[in-house]
């Protein structure tokens, strides 16, 4: 792993640094580049803008690793409120939600996470949209896939995320490539040990292509989450050669990252979904984005110093 990446990921877990950055007079513009804002209204405003530009959206209420039942409940309420807002504003056709099970109680008790996620799924169904379960570190993969299977028994449209850096993912892709299955394929964002994950970025990319092939050959709806221009091109070509029409799969990118490419892909007829995070707990998310790209860190540090 790049030393700067390890350093920033370490900072993401450090309480002292977290307090300093979170309370610094950080330029609103910096956080707003990657995060829609802190409230439901902010999330809905950004969704409206993106949908007007021909993009689809998946919304993430920021927060993870909840070890407090009350906080898990607060997260559920935030999603229910958001889904009401999306429905009321006629945005539910183009905007779904992404949920981290650890934010709704997975670390406390699997049953609580299932019940809470089920409440979000039931409301999403009423609103006319879908839910995707984000994937977290490898210690949670089995539990997340178990919860997915349980939720899909009632709501077959619940989406999963698979991470190509894990050795197991090609097999998981095959298991989840059936009819009705929605699978987001990403590289993976957590610091994982070599026993379970490819340490070399090139191996992660090769695995991404293998998993993408499995998903594209299957009968499900693959969602390719990457900003990598090479992978976007390979997937476009593979989809064509396998007779996959635009609309039978989608590209996904993060809010604020390669926005011009998001529009270009949508204008060329592809379905594109933007992952939009919002909420007061933006710090950990922002740090992960900075860790992925040192250029973003320079941008962030400059803005911190200039205190615009």
Ligand X SMILES: Cc1cc2nc3c(=O)[nH]c(=O)nc-3n(C[C@H](O)[C@H](O)[C@H](O)COP(=O)(O)OP(=O)(O)OC[C@H]3O[C@@H](n4cnc5c(N)ncnc54)[C@H](O)[C@@H]3O)c2cc1C
Q: Rule CB under 6 A: is residue 56 a binding residue for ligand X?
A: no
Q: Is 205 a catalytic residue?
A: no
Q: Rule CB under 6 A: is residue 173 a binding residue for ligand X?
A: no
Under DSSP, the state recorded for 67 is: -
Confirm or deny that 230 is annotated as ligand binding.
no
Q: Is 134 a catalytic residue?
A: yes
> Least Å distance between CB 229 and ligand X?
5
Among 91, 117, 131, 135, binds ligand X (CB under 6 A): 135
> Least Å distance between CB 19 and ligand X?
25
In angstroms, the CA 211 to CA 162 distance is 9
Confirm or deny that 227 is annotated as ligand binding.
yes
β-pairing, 221-225 vs 95-99, is: unpaired
Q: Rule CB under 6 A: is residue 253 a binding residue for ligand X?
A: yes
- Look up tokens 């070399």; give the residue: 200
The helix/strand/coil state of 269 is coil
Q: Rule CB under 6 A: is residue 163 a binding residue for ligand X?
A: yes
Among 228, 234, 299, 304, binds ligand X (CB under 6 A): 228
Confirm or deny that 245 is annotated as ligand binding.
no
Q: Which of 134, 172, 205, 273 is catalytic?
A: 134
Among the listed residues 186, 183, 204, the one whose alpha carbon sits nearest the alpha carbon of residue 194: 204
Do 111 and 80 touch, CB atoms closer than 8 A? no
Q: Which helix (H) or strand (E) holds 121?
A: helix 110-127
Confirm or deny that 288 is annotated as ligand binding.
yes
> Least Å distance between CB 204 and ligand X?
8
Confirm or deny that 289 is annotated as ligand binding.
yes
> Least Å distance between CB 241 and ligand X?
22
Q: Which tokens is 55 given?
A: 């993009």
In angstroms, the CA 186 to CA 226 distance is 6
Among the listed residues 221, 171, 165, the one whose alpha carbon sits nearest the alpha carbon of residue 195: 165
Among 79, 275, 278, 283, binds ligand X (CB under 6 A): 275
Taking each helix axis as running N to C, give the angle between helix 110-127 and helix 141-154, from 0 to 180 degrees, rounded to the nearest 10: 40
Residue positions annotated with a catalytic role: 134, 184
Footprint of ligand X on this chain (CB under 6 A)?
A: 134-135, 161, 163, 184, 186-190, 225-229, 252-254, 257-258, 275, 292-293, 296
């Amino acid at each position: 792993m790049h030393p700067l990446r390890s350093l920033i990921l370490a900072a993401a877990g450090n309480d002292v640094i977290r307090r300093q950055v979170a309370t610094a007079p950080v330029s609103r513009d910096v956080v707003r580049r990657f995060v829609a804002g802190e409230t439901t209204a902010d999330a809905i405003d950004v969704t409206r803008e993106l949908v007007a530009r021909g993009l689809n959206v998946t919304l993430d209420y920021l927060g993870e690793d909840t070890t407090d039942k009350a906080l898990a409940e607060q997260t559920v309420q935030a999603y229910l409120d958001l889904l009401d807002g999306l429905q009321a504003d006629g945005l539910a056709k183009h905007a779904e939600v992404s949920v981290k099970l650890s934010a709704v109680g997975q670390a406390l008790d699997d049953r609580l996470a299932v019940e809470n996620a089920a409440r979000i799924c039931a409301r999403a169904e009423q609103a006319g949209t879908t839910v995707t379960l984000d994937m977290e570190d490898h210690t949670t993969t089995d539990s997340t896939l178990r919860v997915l299977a349980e939720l899909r028994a009632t709501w077959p449209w619940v989406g999963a995320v698979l991470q190509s850096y894990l050795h197991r993912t090609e097999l998981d892709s095959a298991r989840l490539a059936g009819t009705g299955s929605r699978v987001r394929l990403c590289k993976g964002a957590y610091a994982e040990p070599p026993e379970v994950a490819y340490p070399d970025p090139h191996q992660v990319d090769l695995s991404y292509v293998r998993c993408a092939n499995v998903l594209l050959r299957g009968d499900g709806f693959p969602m390719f989450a990457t900003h990598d221009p090479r992978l976007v091109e390979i997937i476009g070509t593979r989809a064509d050669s396998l007779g996959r029409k635009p609309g039978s799969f989608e590209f996904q990118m993060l809010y604020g990252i390669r926005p011009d490419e998001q529009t270009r892909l949508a204008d060329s007829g592809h379905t594109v979904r933007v992952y939009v995070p919002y909420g007061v707990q933006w710090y950990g998310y922002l740090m992960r984005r900075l860790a992925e790209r040192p250029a973003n860190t320079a941008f962030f540090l400059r803005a911190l110093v200039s205190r615009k």
